[in-house]
Amino acid sequence: MFTARSKPGITVTARDAEKANKPFYCPNCESEVTLRRGYVRLEHFAHMAASSCEYAKETELHIQMKLQIFKNLSDTIGSQVKSIQLEKPLGIIRPDIYIEGKKKNIGIEVQASALTPEQIISRTKFYFSKGIYVLWVVPYDEKRFYKYNNITNRMVLSPFRVKEYERIICQMYFKTMILWDIERDPENGFMAFKISDCYTEGTEFYDRDYGELRSFAPRKQKTMKLVDSIQPYLELGDLQPKIINSFSMSMAGYDLPKRNLMIYNWLK
């Protein structure tokens, strides 16, 4: 994480903090954290030992994404909004990036590790109760979406294994995932993937026991998805704030709550 508390009530960022000002405390779990600053790793605060704090589980990928998105937003919309803040505490949640706009507020959740459906849904409800528009961003990983094709000698889009939390995010955003690629220049911004269902191949075979030809129609695969189209360069300004009604997902065992989201409109 990039922020900690040095004295009661005083928040410091890792970039501006001095080792002399320690001790530093995690704003989430209140335990002592250390300032890390190196040539390779970004300056940040780290928990001491094994900790169950949400911030102790942050990966390097999460930290990189958070900082790159923050930089991109500061450059693109920084002058048009009231403030852009990292790890803003808002009651029970802390969006990775919080944008206080002139007309609306936006919370960005970088999702590089697994959240349960319950966690995603309860956060979505909380954002809605505060009137904050939320954008979930997942990491782009070329190896997940592209496979090498021996015939064309090229990397081609291929079915990918969808994670449980990604499936919920896809549903909430009308089959769209917003991604961030830490390998690119942050100036390139976000990416949007339009996701569609993946089907097994239908089969036909002669069943000896029944003495007849039987066939299986293609079936929808639960854990595999396809990328239909890609918008590779996206700014936050290309997304629109939308209020969306709740939707029952009886097959999945949960309902999507009423929500305020930043939506990408493919027809535009």
Q: In what order do the strands lie in the sheet with 11-13?
A: 11-13, 3-5, 24-25, 32-36, 44-47
Q: Comparing C-alpha atoms, which of 129, 17, 131, 112 is closest to residue 57?
A: 112
| Residue 4: CB minimum distance to Zn ion, A | 9
50 or 151: CB nearest Zn ion: 50
| Residue 25: CB minimum distance to Zn ion, A | 8
| Residue 88: CB minimum distance to Zn ion, A | 16
CA distances from residue 103 to 41, 75, 106, 128 in whole angstroms, order as listed: 36, 19, 10, 16
| Residue 125: CB minimum distance to Zn ion, A | 24
Structure tokens at 170: 């896809």
53 or 61: CB nearest Zn ion: 53
Instruction: Enumerate binding residues for Zn ion (CB under 5 A).
Output: 26, 28-29, 53, 55
55 or 165: CB nearest Zn ion: 55
55 or 133: CB nearest Zn ion: 55
Q: Is the peptide bond before 23 cis (omega within 30 degrees of 0)?
A: yes
26 or 182: CB nearest Zn ion: 26
| Residue 60: CB minimum distance to Zn ion, A | 17
Q: How many helices (H) and strands (E) does the chain have?
A: 4, 21
Residue 147: what are its φ and ψ, rounded to 5°? -125, 150
Within a 10 A sphere around the Cβ of 112, how many other Cβ atoms? 20
| Residue 201: CB minimum distance to Zn ion, A | 48
Token match 């704003």: residue?
Answer: 27
Residue 185: what are its φ and ψ, rounded to 5°? -65, 130
- The DSSP secondary-structure symbol of 80 reads T
Q: Comparing C-alpha atoms, which of 126, 130, 60, 137 is closest to residue 96?
A: 137
Contact 96, 110 (CB under 8 A): yes
Q: Comparing C-alpha atoms, which of 64, 120, 69, 61 is closest to residue 97?
A: 69
51 or 76: CB nearest Zn ion: 51
| Residue 56: CB minimum distance to Zn ion, A | 6
29 or 224: CB nearest Zn ion: 29
- Distance from chain centroid for Cα 94: 14
